[in-house]
Amino acid sequence: MSIVSQVEAAFAPGGALARHWPDWEERPGQRSLAIEVARTLEYGGVLLAEAPTGVGKSLAYLLPAAIYAAETDQRVVVATCTRSLQDQLYERDLPAVLEALGLALPVALLKGKQNYLCPRALEIISPEGDDETEVVESLRAWAAGDPAGDLDRFSHADSDTFRRMRSRVATDPSGCTSATCRRARECFWARARRRASEAKLVIVNHALLARATDAEGLLPPFEALVVDEAHRLEGVLSSQLERSASRNRIEELLRLTGTLTGARRGTGLLARVRGFALPLLDAASPTRERLHADLERLSSRADELRTDAETLFGRIAMAPAGASASPYSKRTRHKDAGELFGRDLHALDVVLEHARFYGDVLRRAASALQVTETKGEAGEELQAELETIGARWATLHDDLAMLADAGNRDWAYWRSQGPNAKVAELHGAPVWVGDQARRLLRDGPRASVLTSATLSAAGDFEWTAERLGLGEGSGVPYESLTVPSPFPLAQQMRAFVLDTEGGDEAEGIAQVVAALWKVSRRNTLVLFTAHERLRRCHARLKQLLPATAPLYAQDRDGPAGLLAERFRAERGAVLLGVASLWEGVDFPGEALEVLVVARLPFSVPDDPVVEARAERLRERGLEPFRHDAVPEAVMRFRQGVGRLIRRATDRGVLVVCDPRLARASYRGPFRAALPVEPRLWKDPRGLAHEAAAFLAREQDVTLEESP
C-alpha cells in the first residue's frame, strides 16, 4: 500500500486515529494537509503548505512522516524554529502518533551544542558566591541521573542565577570539537548526535538545520525534510550567515587565549602551554626558544590590543556633528572603508595585525606540539585547542577586513551602536538567503515540506518562494496548498480601524486602549513596531489607567517570555509589546480578548538589509515597496492578528490604529488577511463601547476546543 493510501486510511472513519482516540473528530483541512504531505514525501519535490491555527499541523505532518520512515527505512528530519515546539513534538505529539499507528520507530531530539551541559565545563567551573555554588551542586546531581544533559530540562529554584551561569556550563558551539575533547563517552552533545544517527525520525531546530548546510556531518544524512514555522526560516538563515566584529569578540578571544603575567597569571591557554608543552621540548632547541618568546609576546600584547580595539571601535562610533543622543540602538550602513575611517586606515591595520599575529603564533605553537612524541592524550587535546583558537583569531581577522571593506554588492554592511555606547560593532549580512535555502532544499533531501500559518500574501506564495530561492526560474519548482481555518472566525471576531486624523499617534493609541480597558476589563495586547512609540504610550497609559491596573511593557518590565506568563495569569491586564510578541506566543481564551495593532508592520526603510535589497530590486526594474515591502508587512500583520483567536471557542476584538488600512491604495492584501470587514471609527470611546458589547454578547458558536 502506498504512503498516501496509508495516510488516507489512518484518517478515514474507523481508521487508526478514530480507533485510538474515541473522541476523534475529523477535520477536513487536517486530512487534506496530511495527504499532500504524504504525496510529497512519497514522490519527492517541494511543498509550501499554509495551515492556520486549529488545523492541527503537527499531526498532519508527523503521521505521514512516521509512516514514510517506517515503510522506506529512510530518515526524516523535522525542523521547528523554537525549542519549546521541538520539545512538544518529541515529548508529546510524536509518541501519541506512534502509539496510534502501532509503530515502534527509533526517534531522536537534537539541539545545538550550546543547549547541552558540558561535563568538563561543569568540572572546572569556579562558582562565584553561595547562589552559584548551590546551582552547581544541583547541576552535578542532575547530570548524574539525566541521560540527555539537555539544559532546557534543568529546573532550579534560582532560575535567574542559572540563566546567568548557563553559558559557562554549556558546550561551546565553536570551540568544542572531537579533536579538542577526549570525553566522547561523557559528552551529552556527542550522545545526542549518536542517537540521531541511529534514529529514523529526528527533530531539530531551524538554527541547527541552517548550520548543517555548511558543516558536513552536523546532521546525519536524510531523505525527507519537514520544516514547521517555515515563515521564520529566512530570518534564521540570515542570522546564521551574518558576520560581525566587535570589541567584545576580541575580549572573548583574549580571555580564551589567556596571559602569563599580572592579575591573570596562570590562567588560560597560554599558561597551560607554558606549563605543559615547554617542558616537553629540548631546553636548547630553537623551537623551544621561539615558542617561549612567542608566548611572552602574546601575553604582553594583550593590553595593547585592548587599547587598540577600543580606539578602532570607538572611532567608528563617533557621532556626526550636531547629532543628538538617542536612548535607542542605531544602525548605520556603510559601503566602503572610507565611510568608516576616511583616508586614515591605521587603526584598522593595527587591529588586523594583532589578530593575524595571535592566529599565527597559536598555530606555530600547535605545530611545535605536533612533533613532540611524548605529549600523550592531554598534549593532543592542547594541540587541538591551540589550532581551534588560532583559527578563531584568523576568522576574526578575515571578518574584520571583509566588514570594513564592504566589497560584496550582494551583502549589506553596517555599524551598530547601543544607546550611550562609546564604541560600535561592525556587521554584514547577505541581501538574499535564497542560495543558502536552495542548497538546503534542493541539494539535500529528495522531498521537502515547508508549513506555517502564514506563507502567502492574499493567497500568493510567490513572495515567500522568491525569498527562499524557490520557483521554476531558480531550478526548484514547488507545489502550494492553502488549508482554510476550521474556526468560524467571522462569528468569533470583530475588527475596527481607528482614525484620529493626524494627532499624536501614541496619544491616540493610549486613548483607545484606556477606553477599551475601562468598559471591558479584558486582557489587551498592544503590538508596536517601534520602541519609541511604545515608551510614549506606556507613559501616557500610566496616567490614564488606575494605579491598580496590571500594565506591562516589554523590556521595561521584563523580557517578553516572562511578561507573557504574567499576562496569561492575569485578568484585565494590558501588555505592550514589540518584535517577539508579534508571533510565537499563545494566549488562548480569556488570556487575550482585545488585540490592538499600533501600526501596519512595515520594515524600517533605512534598515541596512532592507535598503540594500531595495537597490537590487530597482536594478531589476521592480518597485521595492509593492514587490517586497507590502508582502512582507502583510505576513507580519497576519502573524500578529493570529495571536487573537487560538481556539474554536475564543472571541476577540482587533483594533488597528492605522488609517492606512482604510484608505491606502495598498490596503487590499491587508484587509484580505482579516476574516471580517473592519469598521472605521474616529471616536475611541464609541469604538470601545461597540467592542465591549460584542465581547459581552452570548457566544454565537459553541464548538468544542480543538485538541
Mean of pLDDT values over 443-464: 91
| Residue 427 CB partners (closer than 8 Å, separation 6+) | 242, 243, 244, 331, 403, 413, 414, 415, 416, 608
Residue reference for cell 489607567 = 545
Class of domain 489-696: alpha beta
Rounded to 5 degrees, φ, ψ at 553 are: -125, 130
Residue whose C-alpha is closest to residue 272's, from 140, 397, 124, 171: 124
Mean pLDDT value of segment 666-677: 94
Question: pLDDT, tens digit, for every residue of 565-618?
Answer: 999 999 999 999 998 899 888 899 999 999 999 999 999 888 999 999 999 999
Residue 229: enclosing H or E segment and its boundaries? Answer: none
Question: What are the distances in angstroms from CA 237 to CA 231, 468, 471, 497, 559?
Answer: 11, 10, 19, 35, 24
Beta-carbon count within 10 A of 184 CB = 12
Q: Would the pLDDT of 564 be above 80?
A: yes
Cα–Cα distance measured from residue 47 to residue 635, given in angstroms and rounded to the nearest whole number: 19
Are the beta carbons of 540 and 507 closer than 8 angstroms? Answer: yes
- Nearest CA to 428 among 400, 468, 447? 400
pLDDT at residue 327 above 60? no
Count of Cβ atoms closer than 10 Å to residue 246 Cβ = 18
Tell me the pLDDT tens digit for each residue of 394-434: 999 999 999 999 999 999 999 998 877 788 999 999 999 99
CA–CA dist 329, 532 (Å, integer): 11
Three-state DSSP at 498 gives strand
CA angle, 644 then 647 then 651, to 5°: 55
More confident residue, 414 or 499: 414
pLDDT averaged over the chain?
Answer: 88
Dump pLDDT digits (tens) for 636-668. 999 999 999 999 999 999 999 999 999 999 999
In this structure, which amino acid lies at residue 680? L
Smallest CA-to-CA distance from 364 within 301, 290, 280 is with 290
Q: pLDDT value at position 228? A: 96
pLDDT on residue 373? 57
Give me the mean pLDDT over the 38-53 stretch. Answer: 96
Lowest-pLDDT range of 80-84, 349-353, 502-506: 502-506
pLDDT confidence of 442, banded at 50, 70, 90?
A: confident
Over the stretch 127-166, which tens digit does the pLDDT of each residue have? Answer: 878 888 888 888 999 988 888 898 888 887 777 788 888 8
3-state SS class at 309: helix
C-alpha angle 179/183/189, rounded to 5°?
85
Quick one: which of 567, 698, 693, 703 has its CA closest to 647? 703
Let me know: does 451 contact 228? Beta carbons within 8 Å. yes
Q: Which three cell numbers stand for residue 38?
A: 504524504
**The CATH fold of domain 3-106+199-238+432-482:** Rossmann fold (3.40.50)
Range name among 49-63, 89-103, 496-510 with the lowest pLDDT average: 496-510
Find the helix or strand (DSSP H, E) in which 480 lies: strand 479-482
CA distances from 65 to 87, 193, 354, 445 (A): 17, 20, 52, 13
According to DSSP, the residues that pair with 525 across neighbouring strands are 575, 595
Q: Where are the alpha helices (DSSP H) in 521-664?
A: 531-544, 560-569, 608-619, 624, 630-641, 660-663
**Residues 6 or more apart from 518 whose CB is under 8 A from it?**
688
Q: Determine the Cα–Cα distance for residues 147 and 619; give it in Å rounded to an integer.
A: 55
Residues, the chain, total? 707
The CA distance from 683 to 500, in Å, is 8
pLDDT at 563: 92
Model-wide pTM > 0.95: no
Instruction: Report pLDDT for 261.
Output: 57
Which carries the bigger pLDDT value, residue 213 or residue 495? 495
Angle between helices 531-544 and 505-520 (to 10 degrees): 50
